[in-house]
Every structure is written in structure tokens, then in C-alpha cells.
Amino acid sequence: MKLVRYGAPGSEKPGLIDPDGTLRDLSGVIADVEGSTLGDAALDKLRDLNVTSLPAVDGDPRLGACVGSIGKFLCIGLNYSDHAAETGADIPEHPILFFKANSAIVGAYDDVVMPRGSTHTDWEVELGVVIGSEAKYVSEADALNHVAGYCVVNDVSERHFQTKLTGQWTKGKSCDTFGPTGPWLVTRDEVGDPQNLAMSLDVNGKRMQTGNTSTMIFTVAQIISHLSQLMTLHPGDVITTGTPPGVGMGMKPEPVYLKKGDVMELEIEGLGRQRQTVDQDA
């Protein structure tokens, strides 16, 4: 299934995309696409619905983040060997973890707004993993059973804030609008192997990132297992899993960063496409 949340910011309704590509309203069935509706039993009930009996949604409404009431927004850094190389970083021994503020989360087609004075805002296409059932001390073999589904995430990053302001990476990762998520959550049964998904990102029509999740240093299963040894993962938590090469800070001979009016378009195989226009706070 492809689950969505549509409508104005803060007033999104749950929906799904039917096999014909029609947006169907789920608000008569569930209150939202969030932790309590993402377990296997809850998703099975949605699969059993007669989709054609659900109301079709007219027009072309805004799509919000595909998961509501996200508990934790967990991010893995330097998880592609070729991306680590382009940034001059060593291959990590364990998954590098940082957090992204939930206030950064927006829809897949919402504007990305650079903060005041930003001159080093960068792009990162990433596979997002949405937890469907509580995971604590889980094995790698069992880890994927705790996944509700997958989505596209743009881990937008302000590199000066990230690397030059004393503190953790979170400073450059958590600016408002720096977490476009969606357009839809694709349930794990429709994704198959999360370690074989093509991914790309264009800026102003020029291909910047081309990659595949097969080149992750730590697999989705390894990441979930590792994090579950440190903290309980709850339904509705989102994990972004790193980005392939081609980010602006790694461009040669000089880094390339976003500016007002730029357009980012990113896609992961089977998970949909995002598009954001860049703006800047006055």
C-alpha cells in the first residue's frame, strides 16, 4: 500500500493511493497515518478494505509528511562508502547517529526555506525507514519485521551550522523545513529488498546524486538492530539511512550550495518522487 497524509499543514487527513493512482480518503477508517495505525495487524485491516468503496479525493491537494506524530527522527551519517570518501571522512566502525528536530519535517513538495544568512545549504536524498512495532534488543535477522514501510527523505543540511558552530551535527540538520518526508509511505511488503533501490537527486534539472541502497555500509537491518540496543524504537519513529555521493559540499573543484529559487527533485525506486523549491528567510 501507498499511504499518504493530505491537506493543509496541521490539518492533514489520512489517505491511500489506489492501484489506478487515485487518492482515496481513509479518514472514515483511521484518524491518521501514525504509530498506532502502522502495526502489522492494523495494516492488514487496511489491506482488506474494498479500496474502490473509499471516497476519491477531488483536485490536487497538498501532501504532507507521510507519517504523522513522528516520535523520533533518527539519522545515520556517512553510511555510503563513496559519500564518506567524497567528504574525506573515514569509514565509521559503527553507525553514526544524530537527531533531526521534528519541527524540520514537511511534505515532499513543500518549499525548503534556508535560515537567515545561510550560504551552505546542501541536499541529501535518503531512504527513510518507518518503524511499525516496538523494537528493543532485536537481532538483525528479526529487524525488518519491525518495519511498517519506507519513504523518501531529503536530509537538507546547512554545512556551516553543521561543522563550524560548536556542537553536534543536529544544529545544521534541524532548521525548519529541512526534513521533507514522503510523498507516501510504501508498506514493506511492496518494497521487497530495501538494499537494492536506485536513488537520485537533481538540482535545476542537473543530476547531482546517483546511487543505490546496495552500497550502504550498514544495512537497514543492521541499523535497526544497533539502535534497538541503545533505545527502544517505537511505532511511528523514522530513521533516515544516509546518502550516496554527489552532495554539494563534495563537488570539485569547489563546493556547490543551494540558493533561493533552486529546485530539487529526488526519487527512490518504488517510493515516489519529491520536488522542493528553495526559499530563504529574510
Pick the CATH number of 73-280 from 3.30.300.180, 3.40.50.2000, 3.90.850.10, 3.30.365.10: 3.90.850.10
pLDDT tens digit string along 110-123? 999 999 989 999 99
Looking at residue 33, its pLDDT comes to 98
Q: Tell me how crowded residue 192 is: count the other CB atoms within 10 A of its CB.
A: 10
pLDDT of res. 168: 82
244-262 per-position pLDDT tens digit = 999 999 999 999 999 999 9
How many angstroms separate the CA atoms of 89 and 97, rounded? 15
Among 15-29, 47-61, 69-83, 225-239, the least confident range: 69-83
Residue ranges per structural domain of the chain: 2-53, 73-280
| pLDDT higher than threshold 90 for residue 166 | no
Return the C-alpha torsion angle 215, 216, 222, 223, nearest 10. -160
Question: Please, which pLDDT band fits residue 91 given cuts at 50, 70 and 90?
Answer: confident
Candidate from 24-33, 70-79, 161-170, 219-228 with smallest mean pLDDT? 161-170
Segment 157-179 shows an average pLDDT of: 91
| Phi/psi at 99 (5° precision) | -110, 150
